């Protein structure tokens, strides 16, 4: 059960392409059909709310799918800041009756029209001014909105004193760096793809020295602090006082998807509650580890996460 949200703790979250997930499963000896909101932004928002921090969820909703999403998101006690769109939200249907994922069908998320993008931009600005932290998550595909949206938004948010946490990759990340990011999270795979795309690498990053150099390059391009997750291996984080290694418990994966979303959510909730960055990072690693050990994306007991955070170590590797 979610911890009650505190009125003075709030995160504003950008979710440019929430989706509807329809899953067929076996439960208690019979088949069950489950409908849930989905997408990176929602999974982050749900975990933030689980940790007792309010969420202003800024997202486009349209069509019959959007109407269903609206009801399901509000049922999660997330404060929805919707932008009405002419296109329908995307969705997927999965069959998981034998405990594996079989995709039955999927619909794409629509490209936002100019006035819809303007509405999303304005809603994010106003929601962020009433929050302690802003989280930027990416679109489901690059066709949904122009990447320059992220540069303008990050720059305007930081100019008004907002703290910006970004969980982005690809062109949206490149754009947001131009506006400035206070804390950036990305995976080692995403960093490797970025390095290859720039022509600096022809293979995945395997040498830790090259990885650290790439992280420092992100800092030079606009990310004040950088958190790099590396699957079961300890994460690396570049803070203002230098490079650190974040090592936490590693469990047998039950649901490897969504660990990064839970990590980002716990960091956001902690920072919005006034906790220092190093404590927030420990909470994030604990939430990600717990998510991997259970079914359900963006879920986890707040008490379990807090206890697990005590087992996360932060070890300096290089002075700032």
Write the pLDDT tens digit of every residue in 107-144: 999 999 999 999 999 999 999 999 999 999 999 999 99
Cα 34 to Cα 44, 71, 185, 283: the distances in Å are: 20, 14, 30, 29
pLDDT in tens, 226-281: 999 998 899 999 999 999 999 988 776 666 666 899 999 999 999 999 999 999 99
Cβ pair 19, 139 in contact under 8 A: no
Assess whether pLDDT exceeds 50 at residue 185. Answer: yes
Interhelix angle 170-179/208-221, rounded to 10 degrees, is 50
- % of residues, the chain, pLDDT over 70: 90
pLDDT, position 1? 43
Contact 236, 225 (CB under 8 A): no
Task: Give the mean pLDDT of 199-215.
Answer: 74
For residues 43 and 261, is the Cβ–Cβ distance under 8 A? yes
Q: What's the pLDDT score for residue 79?
A: 97
Distance of CA 84 to the CA centre of its chain: 23
Which pLDDT score is estimated for 202?
46
User: Does residue 174 surpass a pLDDT of 50?
Assistant: yes
Query: Strand pairing partners for 235?
Result: 246
pLDDT band at 30 (very low <50, low <70, confident <90, very high): confident
Q: Is the pLDDT of residue 61 over 50?
A: yes
What average pLDDT does the segment 307-311 reach? Answer: 93
Q: What is the mean pLDDT of the chain?
A: 91
> pLDDT per residue over 96-108, tens digit each?
888 788 899 999 9
* Domains in the chain with CATH codes: 6-319 (3.40.1190.20)
Q: How many residues does the chain have?
A: 320
Answering whether pTM is above 0.75, one says yes
The values of phi and psi at residue 102, to 5°, are -120, 115
Gap between the Cα atoms of 281 and 289, Å rounded = 12
d(CA 93, CA 167): 25
| pLDDT at residue 298, as a whole number | 55
């Amino acid at each position: 059960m979610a911890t009650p949200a505190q009125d003075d703790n709030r995160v504003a979250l950008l979710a440019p392409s929430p989706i509807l997930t329809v899953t067929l499963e076996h439960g208690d000896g019979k088949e069950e059909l489950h409908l849930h909101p989905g997408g990176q932004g929602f999974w982050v928002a749900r975990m933030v709310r689980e940790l007792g921090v309010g969420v202003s969820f800024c997202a486009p909703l349209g069509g019959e799918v959007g109407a269903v999403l609206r009801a399901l998101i509000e049922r999660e006690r997330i404060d929805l800041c919707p932008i009405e769109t002419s296109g329908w939200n995307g969705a997927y249907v999965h069959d998981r009756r034998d405990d594996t994922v079989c995709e039955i069908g999927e619909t794409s998320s629509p490209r936002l029209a100019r006035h819809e993008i303007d509405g999303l931009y304005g809603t994010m600005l106003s929601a962020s001014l009433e929050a302690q932290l802003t989280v930027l998550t990416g679109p489901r595909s690059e066709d949904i909105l122009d990447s320059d949206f992220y540069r303008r938004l990050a720059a305007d948010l930081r100019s008004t004193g907002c703290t910006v946490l970004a969980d982005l990759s690809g062109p949206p990340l490149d754009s947001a760096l131009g506006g400035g990011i206070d804390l950036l999270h990305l995976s080692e795979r995403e960093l490797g793809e970025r390095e290859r795309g720039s022509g600096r690498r022809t293979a995945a990053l395997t040498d830790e020295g090259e990885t650290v150099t790439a992280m420092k390059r992100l800092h030079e391009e606009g990310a004040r602090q950088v958190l790099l997750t590396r699957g079961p291996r300890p994460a690396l984080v570049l803070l203002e006082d230098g490079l650190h290694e974040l090592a936490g418990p590693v469990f047998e994966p039950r649901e490897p998807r969504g660990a990064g979303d839970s990590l980002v959510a716990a960091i956001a909730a902690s920072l919005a509650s006034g906790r220092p960055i190093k404590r927030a990072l420990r909470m994030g690693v604990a939430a990600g580890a717990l998510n991997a050990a259970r079914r359900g994306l963006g879920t986890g007991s707040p008490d379990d996460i807090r206890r697990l955070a005590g087992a996360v170590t932060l070890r300096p590797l290089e002075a700032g």
